[in-house]
Amino acid sequence: MRNRAFRMMLALASIAAAAVWPARSSAAELAPRTSKKLIEVGWDMPTTAYLRENWERIDQGTPFDGLAYEVTAGEPGGSLSTKRFWSPTPWQREQFEPALADLRACRFTTLRHNFLRVDSTPGTVDWFDEAGWGALLNKAAIVGWLVRESGSEGMMLDLETYGADVFRYDPSSGRSFDEVCEMARRRGGQFISAFAKECPNATVLAFWLMSMHVATCEAPDPRSALMTHRYGLQPAFINGLLDALPPTMTLVDGCENAYDYDGADDYLRAYVRVRQMGGPTARLVAPENRRKYEAQVQVSYGVYLDTYVNPVGSDWYIGGHGGTRVDRLRHNLSIACQTADEYVWVYGEQARWWGMPYWEWAQNAVKDTVGKGRLWEEVLPGLTNAILWAKDPTSAARRAVEERRRSGTLTNLAPNPGFEGGVNDDGIPEGYGAWQSADSKGRFSADRTTGMGGPSSYRLDNVTDGCGLLRIPVEPGRCYAVGARMRSAGKDRASVVVRWQTERQRFLLEDRDVYLPTEPIGAEWERAFGLVAAPAEAADMIVLLQSEGEGTAWFDDVEVYAF
């Protein structure tokens, strides 16, 4: 079970309708993913000067964890730019001091995982040009210096060629394919070494690495296919990156081909193809680099916003599948967050996030699009909220509950939530049940003197293996926020668990149970809260107010809200 791709397949086998909020979803899709980071990148990419003037406004209310930015020297649009990296034009560090000062002036609290964009454009340095590569390696060191000194996460590397086809093998060069590959691999090692010397702990998030070459890998003769491929020299360059990659650095394959992914199968298939050492891309990883590839290469995905606003008939179009297109975006972004190792990058062209003015070429390019250069929230209403739900559904559910509470539209499906109503013949609060194992000799009761939100609570004394029970009918696939306040004394440990039953009142397997995370409330009480989604087979949700150990557990303010 050492292979990460195989583990991912097992963990996500139950993903079917990945959606998180008022739409239909599978329970597996709701696993915590607070460590996943969403990175914004697009035609509205800010300069450092724009960031310095607007960082507070940009940082407030953004759904992202980071952004990609460009560094230029001199006037905006000048010849020195990290987006025009691959040229023999020399750089000097002092030329970039003003840009570094801009970045240091930013005090981001939300956008804390930012990447400096570096492009392989214009591609005018040949692999065998020693002087040109001397300039490139000095530039790589400057990029590393900028990343380190600005506190950025790393470099966002675009290996797509917008100028010369530097990664295409040219038979007319007089050199064999193997000879050029050997030099490309050497240059890859030199490039990452120069960058890593300045910031050895950085992340390099590439729009693609080996994911570009899946089809080539599956060809009967990959080597012959690479010889004619536009990016046929890239696997050699990538192996060079791996050759010299320090153990403290991470490479991220951004899977740009994910732009038109639509559903769990697409994302899972890509993950397996890129990550699995027995899969197709492993054929292009040098044997001596495979252990490093498995340990230090992550999978990410590019989510292309334009596909959700383009008209029917466009080459890049994803429809709503019976719902709205923003719902479908949230659905697919949820799956991307679930399956990616750490990062998901969100890319857009025809609209903007920050209001950063487009360059002239981009202004002309978006004139006839649906977006027309407007703000993304105007073009695709509800987009920000959809991104927040996809990234961290539990936190989004907390916000939604509070918004409904303030507006007076919050409906709690739990009966007698504060346990201030009556009791049944066994002294158990109305609307609730109780269970304990044969070995547990505890007592269940309504406590009228100890509560969190009011004077009452559901009390379990010396229930060493048992729980209070609440049954709530559910709609398969619908999301529910579930919570309760709880307190423990003695050796007791209280917890809240959600379990599911079918129409025949058969419990689903325990691997479908959801243990709600907790947080302290004052010195004695805790709050359990989480977002769950009813499986397709479920007819009822069973909320277990669980007690384990000798002592006393109290439960109060049970909450169940449908989304």
CA distances from 176 to 183, 227, 288, 346 (A): 11, 10, 23, 39
Query: 380 and 466, same structural domain?
Result: no
- Tell whether 224 is covered by a domain: yes
Does the pLDDT value for residue 23 go beyond 60? no
> Averaged over 377-402, what is the pLDDT?
93
How far does Cα 246 stand from its chain's mean position? 25
- Tell whether 483 is covered by a domain: yes
- Tell whether 413 is covered by a domain: no
Using pLDDT thresholds of 50, 70 and 90, give the confidence band for residue 78. Answer: low
Query: 494 and 382, same structural domain?
Result: no
pLDDT tens per residue across span 154-212: 999 999 999 999 999 999 999 999 999 999 999 999 999 999 999 999 999 999 999 99
Other Cβ atoms within 10 Å of 132 Cβ, number: 17
Query: 458 and 340, same structural domain?
Result: no
Does the pLDDT value for residue 18 go beyond 80? no
- Tell whether 208 is covered by a domain: yes
Give the CATH number of the domain where residue 483 resides: 2.60.120.260
Query: 9 and 119, same structural domain?
Result: yes
Give the CATH number of the domain where residue 263 resides: 3.20.20
Does the pLDDT value for residue 26 go beyond 70? no
- Tell whether 419 is covered by a domain: no
321: left (phi over 0), alpha (psi -120 to 50) or beta: left
pLDDT tens per residue across span 337-369: 999 999 999 999 999 998 889 988 999 999 999
Q: How far apart are the first and last CA of the chain?
A: 37
Query: 447 and 321, same structural domain?
Result: no
- Tell whether 279 is covered by a domain: yes
473 upstream amide cis, omega within 30 of 0: no
DSSP conformational letter for 295: H
Number of separate domains in the chain: 2
The burial of 312, by beta-carbon neighbours within 10 Å (0-12 exposed, 13-18 middle, 19 or more buried), is given as exposed
C-beta of residue 356 within 8 angstroms of C-beta of residue 50: yes
Using pLDDT thresholds of 50, 70 and 90, give the confidence band for residue 280. Answer: confident
pTM, two decimal places: 0.83
- Identify the CA nearest to 87 among candidates 162, 7, 30, 184: 162
Task: Give the domain extent around 512.
Answer: 433-562
Least confident of 88-97, 117-126, 357-366: 357-366
Query: 457 and 337, same structural domain?
Result: no
- Tell whether 166 is covered by a domain: yes
Query: 315 and 371, same structural domain?
Result: yes
> Averaged over 285-297, what is the pLDDT?
96
The crossing angle, in degrees rounded to 10, of helices 325-339 and 264-275 is 30
Query: 116 and 208, same structural domain?
Result: yes
Query: 476 and 374, same structural domain?
Result: no
What pLDDT is stored for residue 76 in this prediction? 52
Query: 176 and 29, same structural domain?
Result: yes
> Averaged over 469-480, what is the pLDDT?
93
